[in-house]
Amino acid sequence: MIGNYRMRPAALKDWPDIVALDQEIFGAYGAQEEPAIIRSRLLTFPPGCAVLEGERGGGRPFIAGYLTTEKWAELREPVLDEDPRESHRPDGRVLCITTLAVAPGCQNQGLGVRLLDRAVSIARQEGCAQIILETAHAERFYLRHRFRPAGVRTERGIRMAIMLLDLTDRGSSGP
């Protein structure tokens, strides 16, 4: 466990904790996703999901952050609550980061970078040429890690910046 957090594949047993964290982080401004969609992500593309697990007093584990992704056949805008059973393509060449989140009490410790590094690793292992995501509040974070703006959209009254990383660019050896 590096920095008291261990990266591991997400499992279905993590679903309730991931849903709670999703609600805590994104519910404050209305961008939380349906629990059934989060569950479907864990089941549809398990290699694309990871958690950062920490320990509380007494050695009790907790999820400090998580990552969910899916693969798409072509580049397009992300959509909240999209069911990966319909959108995920096992042979896709675009990795969509559907969620990358770090618990409020665990932020500013490099955990987001670790999750982003994991997403880049997944994309490369899966033969993806691009990574796309949308963000309401972390645009500067992604810009610092070689993503470029690819558009803006509004959903549920929330402004979402669409960010893109082209893994075929010579300068994109990683975030």
Convert the pLDDT of each residue in 88-123 to its tens digit.
999 999 999 999 999 999 999 999 999 999 999 999
Q: Which residues contact 107 (CB under 8 A, 6 or more apart)?
A: none
Residue 158: which pLDDT band, with cuts at 50, 70 and 90? very high
Report the pLDDT value the prediction gives residue 56, as an integer from 0 to 100.
80
- Provide the residue count of the chain: 175
Least confident of 15-24, 29-38, 53-62: 53-62
Please tell me what DSSP assigns to residue 28.
Answer: G
CATH number, domain 6-166, options 3.10.20.30, 2.60.40.1250, 3.40.50.300, 3.40.630.30: 3.40.630.30
Tokens for 28, please give them. 């404050």
Report the pLDDT value the prediction gives residue 174, as an integer from 0 to 100.
44
> Residues of 20-58 as b/e, b for ≥16 C-beta within 10 angstroms?
ebbeebbeeeebbbeeebbebbbebbeebbbbbbbeeee
Coil, strand or helix at 105: helix
Does the pLDDT at position 175 exceed 60? no
pTM of the model: 0.92
Report the pLDDT value the prediction gives residue 170, as an integer from 0 to 100.
56
Tens of pLDDT, residues 5-26: 999 999 999 999 999 999 999 9
DSSP-H helix ranges across the chain:
15-26, 35-44, 84-87, 111-125, 139-144
